[in-house]
Structure 1
Amino acid sequence: MTPRARAAPACALVLAVAVIAAGCATSPGVSPRLAQARAAREAFFQDNLATYQPRRPDEAAALDALRRYKHAHESFDARGLEALLAPSFEARHYPSKDSAEVQTRAAYLEQRRDWRARPAPARHLDIAVQASHLSQKSGQVAVTALTTHRSKHFAPRFLETFVFGREGGEWKLRRIMTYPLRPPAPELYEVRVAFTEMAGLQQPAPEAIARDMLAEGPDSVFEKHYRLGSTVRSGVRSLVSAGPFVVIFREPPPEGARIEILEQAYGPVSERAQGTIVAGAAASPFFYVVSQSKWFGFRFTVDVRVLLDGVPVAEETLTLQ
């Protein structure tokens, strides 16, 4: 029995076979002015931790501790991180001007207890130091920096202040204060549409995704759960493995941003789908959207366009033959 070519739920086509063929992979045109603005922003966040020149020995010691923190973060070294934290350590995150989240030392380490150390970084923490200051009154050193938590698919950015103090003759990290920084205009966002493959029809459990993203880094969502497909011609594969497409934001959109996902399928029949999402304040810095619609069948072409606050930011085309 040969399934008829049509758009249908995956369960209706489990015996079908598809070839993922090269479509017309495009993105909105980037003007020279926009390219220059993006390059200037990248330069602003360039890591300078290794070359930043402190003014005092205490500041130099604090910066050395910050370099150890960076290494522990990049290599998933939970023990190395724990050794750097003062007993009174706390992490304060300010997702918006009207809210704050505070983690104690115990909670901060508990969230990272499943880190799996690795010799080569699967992620990078770029630290662009802006200033370091020694408080004569408290004896603490505050280092203010622009940071980028960069991996293959994500690069959220923050303004962070690291506060160090002497604990038993060693410089320890007493406090981190984090404020998210986002592109000032929709066109500065880097967004891509990718098609995924899955081992079965069941969607991955959100709890498993969150656990692995903490233990192995944010890219694990696409390395273990939603494996990214390719728009380059590949071998014949069962439609059972053809998963939904995902929209990946390299930096998360701001609270209240309107994300429109427009889908148009062409084939024996033409169908259209449209979805709108309003970003919330508690959105993860590693932001992606999984499509709820699936287009399956022979000789179908699906165009996907993504708009952020009405501005086109991504476009992709896939053909199933």
Structure 2
Amino acid sequence: MFRWKSERSRYNSSEHSVGKTRSKGRESHLDQLRGQREDQGAEESEDTNDQPSLPDFQIAWEEEYIKSSYNPREMQLVCIISTVYFLGHFFGTVFWRKNDDVGGGGTWLILTWLPELICGIQNGLWVVLLSMPFLRTLCMTQYNTISTYIIVTSYVATIVPSFIWEIRLSRYQTLRPTYLHLSIDYSSFPPNRTCYSVSGNQSLDPNSTDAQRLEGSIMACTSFLLSGTSFIGYVFWNLLPRICRVGTAHAALVALSTFSVLLLLSLAAGSDAWAIAACTLFQLAAGLGAAAFCLAGEQRSRDKFAMVKATQFAAEQNRALLHTL
């Protein structure tokens, strides 16, 4: 009886030791699996980090990028259209109509619209220069500067005749029948722009109801410099940097330059303060918006160029490995 109890206790202790051994083995096996998984995850993360990424745009690629992206066709088209418009409007006004509804004589008429003649000839010459093969390298490296010059000078040729026309209007008055005359007083700054009735010499506010009722008041009193037709042309020149793919810095320079020109000439013409603020700020917003689109387009173009360079580099490496086999 005693022998049977001792054997049974020995058997139970052996089963207990075997169970402990098995549980320890299972735990060690699970620990090994966890370690293997952690090692695999670390290896995968290292492999992911070691994978080659697309390179950023390198400064050494700048010259090659300029050559690949150079295309002056848009600017040439703009020069052709502006040349036709400027020359057509100049010769039509000066030699065909021979008046622009404001007094002053033929000399004033030519001086008023002379900027259109100069800019029309200049833009026609730029069409030829941008097409010459021996000037391609120069035009390629200085494309942004050339485009900025063409756009700003064309803008000036658009706005300066309107300003001179307003000065003539205040001095010689309109040739059309009207009940109002315009006067710009330059004794103070900014100049004071007033309208007065021909009968009674009564001063009127150009935006008043009485002035608007009189025939020809819009022609004589409101600012032709900031009229809707003229302002559309101003905004058009500010949007051209995006159309012609000009660099971001030069596009912003166009916006600031045209903003300064419009602000100075509007103040010199004695235009209404609210009209000046609205027109100049709207034009500036349009110009800076075009510069922002230029920035986005330039970034996409550079990223695409970097991707092409990376693909070419990978192809060269694969070709070199094939030669070594």
TM-score, length-scaled by structure 2: 0.25
Query: Of the two, which has the highest radius of gyration?
Result: 2
Q: TM-score, normalised by structure 1?
A: 0.26
Bigger RCO of structures 1 and 2 (CA < 8 A, at least 6 apart): 1
Q: Flag the structure with higher strand content.
A: 1
**Structure that is richer in helix per residue:** 2
